[in-house]
Amino acid sequence: MPKRFKKNIYIIKPLDLHGEKHADVFRLVEDYVLNNQSELPLQIITGNSDIMKKIVIEALKTHGFNYMEGDYFNRGYIDVLT
């Protein structure tokens, strides 16, 4: 599907973790999802770092959020679901 026909389902701007230190990521993700949980789905851009993804998933599981890792063509993000 061409990009111009894709519908943006996200109300809140995605959390982009590029350039963030691993030590800060857990707190950043917690703040983002807890402050915006009424606006699900949310998107967290992790890049291709497996460590970054692991920290994000750990934070989401701690608070009981469902999530889905990126798609076949772009694995550098995590969607936070209802």
Whether the CB-CB separation of 60 and 31 falls below 8 Å is answered with no
45 in a domain, yes or no? Answer: yes
55 in a domain, yes or no? Answer: yes
81 in a domain, yes or no? Answer: no
61 in a domain, yes or no? Answer: yes
82 in a domain, yes or no? Answer: no
Q: What tens digit of pLDDT does each residue of 16-45 get?
A: 999 999 999 999 999 999 999 999 999 999
Domain enclosing residue 46, as ranges: 15-68
Whether the CB-CB separation of 21 and 7 falls below 8 Å is answered with no
Which is nearest to 29 in space by CA: 14, 51, 11, 39? 14
34 in a domain, yes or no? Answer: yes
64 in a domain, yes or no? Answer: yes
Percent of the chain whose predicted confidence (pLDDT) is above 70: 88
